[in-house]
Amino acid sequence: MTTWDELVAAATVGTGTRPVAVTQLPGAAADHVDAVSAEEPAAALLDAAALLDVRRRAGRIPPPPTAEPPEPAGPEDAPELPARAARILVRRLTDTDELITAALLQATADAGRIVPPPDLPALLDAATHGPDLRPLAAQVCGRRGRWLARFRGDWAWLADRPADPADPQVWATGTRAARRAHLAALRSADPAAARELLAAAWAEETGDDRAAFIATLRTGLSPADEPFLEAALDDRAGAVRATAADLLALLPDSEFARRAAERARAALRVRRGERGLELDPDPPTEWTPQLGRDGVTEQPPRGVELSPPVWWLLQVIARAPLAAWRDHDPAALTRAATGDLALEVHAGWRIAVRREGDRHWIDALLADPPRADTRGPAFLLSVWVPDDELAAALPPHERAERVARLLRTDPGQLHLAELANCPAPWPDVLADVVLARLAAALSYGEPVTLAHRELVRLAGPGLPADVADTVEALSRRAPEMTVWPATLRGLAAVLQVRRTFQHELTERSEPKVDPS
User: How would DSSP label each residue in 17-66?
Assistant: TS---TT---GGGGGGGGGS-SS-HHHHHHHHHHHHHHHHHH--PPPPP-
Look at phi and psi of residue 488 and say left if phi exceeds 0, alpha if psi is from -120 to 50, else beta. Answer: alpha
Q: Which of helix, strand or coil describes residue 114?
A: strand
- Is residue 381 situated within a structural domain? yes
Closest to 356 in 3D by CA, of 383, 318, 382, 329: 318
CA–CA gap between residue 198 and residue 182 (Å, rounded): 11
Q: In the predicted model, is pLDDT for residue 299 greater than 70?
A: yes
β-strand partners of 305: none
Domain that holds residue 120: 83-155
Of 121-125, 260-264, 338-342, minimum mean pLDDT range = 338-342
CA–CA gap between residue 496 and residue 514 (Å, rounded): 30
Mean pLDDT of all residues in 508-514: 51
CA–CA gap between residue 376 and residue 13 (Å, rounded): 83
Q: In the predicted model, is pLDDT for residue 440 greater than 80?
A: yes
Burial 347-362 (b: 16+ CB within 10 A, else e): bbbbbbbbbbebeebb
Do residue 434 and residue 502 come from a single domain? yes
Look at phi and psi of residue 26 and say left if phi exceeds 0, alpha if psi is from -120 to 50, else beta. Answer: beta
pLDDT recorded at residue 372: 45
> Chain centroid to CA 434: how far?
27
Q: What are phi and psi of 396, to 5 degrees?
A: -55, -45
Do residue 89 and residue 190 come from a single domain? no
- Is residue 70 situated within a structural domain? no
Query: First-to-last CA distance in the chain?
Result: 51
Do residue 316 and residue 411 come from a single domain? no
In this structure, is the dihedral angle defined by the CA atoms of residues 226, 230, 235 and 241, taken in order, positive or negative? positive
Closest to 322 in 3D by CA, of 250, 272, 270, 256: 250
Do residue 355 and residue 244 come from a single domain? no
Domain endpoint, select from 217, 251, 285: 251
- Is residue 264 situated within a structural domain? no
Look at phi and psi of residue 457 and say left if phi exceeds 0, alpha if psi is from -120 to 50, else beta. Answer: alpha
pLDDT recorded at residue 59: 66
Look at phi and psi of residue 415 and say left if phi exceeds 0, alpha if psi is from -120 to 50, else beta. Answer: left
CA–CA gap between residue 92 and residue 71 (Å, rounded): 32
Q: Are 245 and 295 in contact (CB under 8 A)?
A: yes
- Is residue 350 situated within a structural domain? yes
Q: Which residues contact 203 (CB under 8 A, 6 or more apart)?
A: none
Do residue 308 and residue 375 come from a single domain? yes
pLDDT recorded at residue 516: 46
Do residue 296 and residue 352 come from a single domain? yes
- Is residue 226 situated within a structural domain? yes
- Is residue 75 situated within a structural domain? no
Look at phi and psi of residue 273 and say left if phi exceeds 0, alpha if psi is from -120 to 50, else beta. Answer: beta
Q: In the predicted model, is pLDDT for residue 65 greater than 80?
A: no
Do residue 297 and residue 375 come from a single domain? yes
Domain endpoint, select from 220, 251, 282: 251
CA–CA gap between residue 88 and residue 101 (Å, rounded): 10
Residue 480: DSSP 8-state: T
State the pTM of this model: 0.76
pLDDT recorded at residue 348: 96
Q: In the predicted model, is pLDDT for residue 376 greater than 80?
A: no
Do residue 373 and residue 482 come from a single domain? no
Closest to 144 in 3D by CA, of 106, 102, 116: 116
| Cα three-residue angle 118-122-123, rounded to 5 degrees | 100
Do residue 494 and residue 411 come from a single domain? yes
Q: Which of helix, strand or coil describes residue 372?
A: coil
Q: Are 118 and 80 in contact (CB under 8 A)?
A: no
Q: Which of helix, strand or coil describes residue 277?
A: strand
CA–CA gap between residue 186 and residue 249 (Å, rounded): 23
- Is residue 78 situated within a structural domain? no
- Is residue 177 situated within a structural domain? yes
Q: In the predicted model, is pLDDT for residue 266 greater than 90?
A: yes
pLDDT (tens digit per residue) in 27-59: 777 777 777 776 788 888 888 888 878 877 776
Do residue 97 and residue 138 come from a single domain? yes
Do residue 274 and residue 387 come from a single domain? yes
205: number of Cβ within 10 Å: 18
Domain endpoint, select from 109, 131, 155: 155
pLDDT recorded at residue 162: 47
Number of domains the chain is built from:
5
pLDDT recorded at residue 203: 93
Do residue 278 and residue 386 come from a single domain? yes
